[in-house]
Chains A and B, each alone.
Chain A
Amino acid sequence: MQNPSQPTKPSSIALWKWAAIIILVYVFIAGWFVPLKPGIIEASPDRTIAGDQLILAVKGYNSHFMKDPDQIRAWMRLKGDTVIKALHVEVVDDRHLRASFYIPSVFPIKQDAYPLTLILDHPTDGSSVLPNAVFVTPAAVEDPAEMGLWTRDKIDHIHKLEGFRYPFRNILAETIRNTYFHVPMWFTMIILFGISAWYSLKYYRQGLIIDDNISTAFVKVGLVFGMLGLVTGMLWAKNTWNAYWSWDVKQNMSAIALLIYSALMVLRSSIEDDMQKARLSAGYNMFAFVLLIPLLFIIPRMTDSLHPGNGGNPAMGGEDLDNTMRMVFYPAVIGWVLLGIWISQLVYRVDILKRNQ
């Protein structure tokens, strides 16, 4: 043990810690300041009757309607190529426009209500989509001659916005940036718990009390990251799913997983003898990690869930994570995991010092 009266030269921190700092600075800057692609926030009215004129007030986001206003085109899509083009698009300002449509009185498919998707195309903003913008109730009198209107127009020469921008997703909007903050919390938690289980196994095989200290530190910090994942997820859910807690299978299972690990800390604090404490918690810890896999990855995939990546919802693909986002998301995961390992290392260094005193 060093003598505190003789100050030693402070050693510089390891390279991977510098990497964690630089990566996280990059993640915060890119995560916060790269703009979203233009999109459509809302269109009103949201319902109408077939065989009637529809004047749709469209509210854009990050849009520049005033630039080339006469080149803006709008369509209502029923499915595939079955579209009707706007008769007229009138720009109010950069964020607002009015598009007038004639909704044919007859539809190629028979339904109680027809959801129509609004598609806008702008030469510089590119195309944007609002799914289920308008619900159309069938007309009282149908004119079969109007069937041709559905096949007259085609969506063609769509513009694509170039540049480093995140996709605009309805309901999510700017909260898509939480992909770099909420999601890596869980990645970090799982990796910290995994390292912890590895050290528990090591303790089981070699019986060195130092491995128990390391394993416990990783559980402690993993729990902090898990709690962060849960709380940030609740705030995100409140503003996208409309409730902090919707008893969604993913929420429930992750809460159970955290409770299992919290119980480990309770178990540890209830045992006086150090060796017994280490042996019992090593066994419990490995059991808990094995349980984590079905709780987080298998059960949520078997039923319906609001959460992406479960119950048929795709994650890590499609529009939720495009190539632009990957350039921030993967560094974010690496950066947060390194930070988690760093904090765990501080915790176990303190714990080992404490035990040695």
Chain B
Amino acid sequence: MKLNKSCHIYTLFQKNMKVRSAFIFMMILVVQVAQAQQVFSPDYMRSIGKIYVVAGVTLIILLTLLIYMITLDRKISKLEKRQKHE
């Protein structure tokens, strides 16, 4: 398995075209959805008894922990690679 040399996520985007395009696609999607539904307008956030606030809080927690897990995974991959070379 080919492993990236650098651990930094932004250098990953510079080097790996596939990941970068996927990231850009995701950003465009998020912006489009946000514009179409006005996700961040107070009226939307406060509809249905403000349930979207709970959704936002849950999403922030899960996404942050997920990203943290990904960085940890990359750290371990780097260690494994180094161990293979020894």
Residues of A whose CB lies within 8 Å of any CB of B are: 1, 4, 28, 32, 36, 41, 61, 172-175, 177-178, 181-182, 185, 224, 227-228, 231-232, 235-236, 238-240, 339, 343, 346-347, 350, 353-354, 357
Q: Nearest chain B CB to A285's CB is how many angstroms away?
A: 21
Residue pair B86, A224 in contact (C-beta under 8 Å): no
Taking CB atoms, residues of chain B closer than 8 Å to A174 are: 48-51, 53-54
Q: Nearest chain A CB to B2's CB is how many angstroms away?
A: 17
Q: Nearest chain A CB to B34's CB is how many angstroms away?
A: 15
With an 8 A cutoff between CB atoms, is B64 at the interface?
yes
Among B49, B57, B76, B84, the residue within 8 A (CB) of A61 is B49
With an 8 A cutoff between CB atoms, is B46 at the interface?
yes
Mark contacts of B45-79 with chain A using CB atoms, 8 A cut-off: 1 yes-contact digit, 0 otherwise.
Answer: 11011110110111011001100110010011001
With an 8 A cutoff between CB atoms, is B8 at the interface?
no
Q: Nearest chain B CB to A85's CB is how many angstroms away?
A: 28
How far, in whole Å, are A172 and B46 apart by their CA atoms in the complex? 10
Q: Nearest chain B CB to A166's CB is how many angstroms away?
A: 11
Residue pair B60, A235 in contact (C-beta under 8 Å): yes
Taking CB atoms, residues of chain B closer than 8 Å to A172 are: 50
Size class of the B contact interface (CB-based, 8 Å) = 20 to 34
Taking CB atoms, residues of chain A closer than 8 Å to B45 are: 238-239
Among B46, B60, B61, B84, the residue within 8 A (CB) of A239 is B46
Taking CB atoms, residues of chain B closer than 8 Å to A1 are: 83
Residue pair A181, B57 in contact (C-beta under 8 Å): yes
How far, in whole Å, are A85 and B54 apart by their CA atoms in the complex? 36
Nearest first, the 3 closest Cβ-Cβ pairs linking A and B are A173-B49, A174-B49, A174-B51
With an 8 A cutoff between CB atoms, is B5 at the interface?
no
Residue pair B79, A353 in contact (C-beta under 8 Å): yes
How far, in whole Å, are A343 and B70 apart by their CA atoms in the complex? 12
Residue pair A32, B54 in contact (C-beta under 8 Å): yes
Among A28, A173, A178, A350, the residue within 8 A (CB) of B72 is A350
How far, in whole Å, are A181 and B64 apart by their CA atoms in the complex? 13
Mark contacts of B29-53 with chain A using CB atoms, 8 A cut-off: 1 yes-contact digit, 0 otherwise.
Answer: 0000000000000100110111101
The residue on B at minimum CB distance from A233 is B57
Residue pair A235, B57 in contact (C-beta under 8 Å): yes
Q: Nearest chain A CB to B18's CB is how many angstroms away?
A: 26
Residue pair B84, A354 in contact (C-beta under 8 Å): no
A-B contacts, 30 listed (Cβ < 8 Å): A1-B83, A4-B83, A4-B84, A28-B58, A41-B49, A172-B50, A174-B48, A174-B49, A178-B53, A181-B61, A185-B61, A224-B64, A224-B65, A224-B68, A228-B64, A231-B60, A232-B56, A232-B60, A232-B61, A236-B53, A239-B42, A239-B45, A239-B53, A240-B53, A339-B65, A343-B72, A350-B72, A350-B76, A354-B79, A357-B86
